[in-house]
């Protein structure tokens, strides 16, 4: 029996299509300076270290609420807890609530994100070849503003985020949610992302084909065809498989 051809290509977002410009610490510190926070490399590194630890320990951004306003409130509170925990570790300051409002909104702007150099070219080529494209991301509803600001929205047929899907990667539920929007079987889709557990292992457990995007070149499984160093490698493999 011949293999079922891939019809749909799903992408993770942050770390795959685009990433934070500089670092989270850079941006947090930029907006915190006017509140008297020390602007130094040591503070930036402390913020980055605290953010990595806090973010890893947070529960996934999935909320049992109905209605867009309640959902946005939950998303905002989730991020408030993250940012508050970061500065609780590195040094809290007066005016934190106002600061949070500003930095939360700042991440909806294109100025704080960098699109990877090959992203637009790869999406253009895959679209030209007739693939349906989608995003599967553990993000909140600000993602829709970000993707528009980066002028990437027109490439995608669907955008699946965890707070709307009611599940987060690596749960098979979020992958099935995305598949249902395209009316395709798991084996008719491939997912690519930079997180081994959430993107690669999560997609495989849901029955999709998967590629692990390893831009760091540190992956010990570099000889495996399922590991790619950039999106061009993915594009070539998909085209060759047609």
Whether a cis peptide bond, with omega within 30° of 0, leads into 8 is: no
pLDDT digits (tens, 9 = 90+) for 72-109: 999 999 999 999 999 999 999 999 999 999 999 999 99
**Model confidence at 5: pLDDT above 50:** yes
Is the same domain home to 122 and 209?
Answer: yes
Residue labelled with tokens 């999406």: 123
| Residue 97 Cα distances to 50, 77, 83, 93, angstroms | 19, 12, 10, 10
Is the same domain home to 159 and 122?
Answer: yes
Overall number of domains in the chain = 2
CATH for 206: 3.40.50.1000
| Residue 235: predicted pLDDT | 80
Q: Which two tokens stand for residue 119?
A: 């992203």
Instruction: Look at residues 111, 128, 162 and tell me which one is the last residue of a structural domain.
Output: 111
Domain that residue 41 falls in: 22-111
| Residue 10: predicted pLDDT | 98
Torsion sign (Cα): 101, 105, 141, 89: negative
Is the same domain home to 133 and 230?
Answer: yes
User: Averaged over 189-208, what is the pLDDT?
Assistant: 96
CATH for 27: 1.10.150
Q: Which two tokens stand for residue 40?
A: 């130094």
Instruction: Look at residues 91, 111, 131 and tell me which one is the last residue of a structural domain.
Output: 111
User: Averaged over 108-123, what is the pLDDT?
Assistant: 96
Residue 3 within any structural domain of the chain: no
Is the same domain home to 94 and 166?
Answer: no
């Amino acid at each position: 029996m011949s293999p079922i051809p891939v019809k749909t290509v799903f992408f993770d977002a942050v770390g795959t299509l685009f990433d934070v410009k500089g670092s989270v610490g850079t941006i947090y510190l930029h907006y915190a300076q006017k509140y008297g926070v020390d602007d130094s490399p040591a503070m930036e590194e402390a913020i980055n270290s605290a953010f990595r630890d806090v973010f890893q320990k947070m529960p996934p951004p999935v909320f049992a609420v109905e209605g867009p306003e309640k959902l946005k409130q939950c998303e905002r509170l989730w991020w408030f807890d993250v940012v508050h925990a970061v500065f609780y570790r590195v040094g809290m300051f007066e005016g934190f609530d106002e600061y949070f409002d500003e930095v939360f909104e700042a991440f909806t702007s294109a100025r704080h994100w960098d699109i990877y150099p090959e992203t637009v070219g790869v999406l253009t080529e895959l679209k030209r070849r007739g693939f349906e494209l989608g995003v599967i991301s553990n993000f909140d509803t600000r993602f829709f503003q970000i993707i528009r600001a980066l002028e990437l929205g027109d490439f995608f047929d669907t955008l699946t985020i965890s707070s709307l899907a009611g599940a987060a990667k690596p749960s098979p539920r979020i992958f099935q949610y995305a598949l249902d929007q395209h009316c395709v079987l798991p084996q008719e889709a491939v997912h690519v992302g930079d997180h081994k557990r959430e993107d690669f292992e999560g997609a495989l457990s849901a029955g999709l084909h998967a590629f692990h995007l390893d831009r760091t070149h540190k992956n010990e499984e570099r000889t495996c065809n399922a590991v790619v160093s950039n999106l061009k490698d993915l594009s070539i493999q998909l085209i060759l498989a047609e």
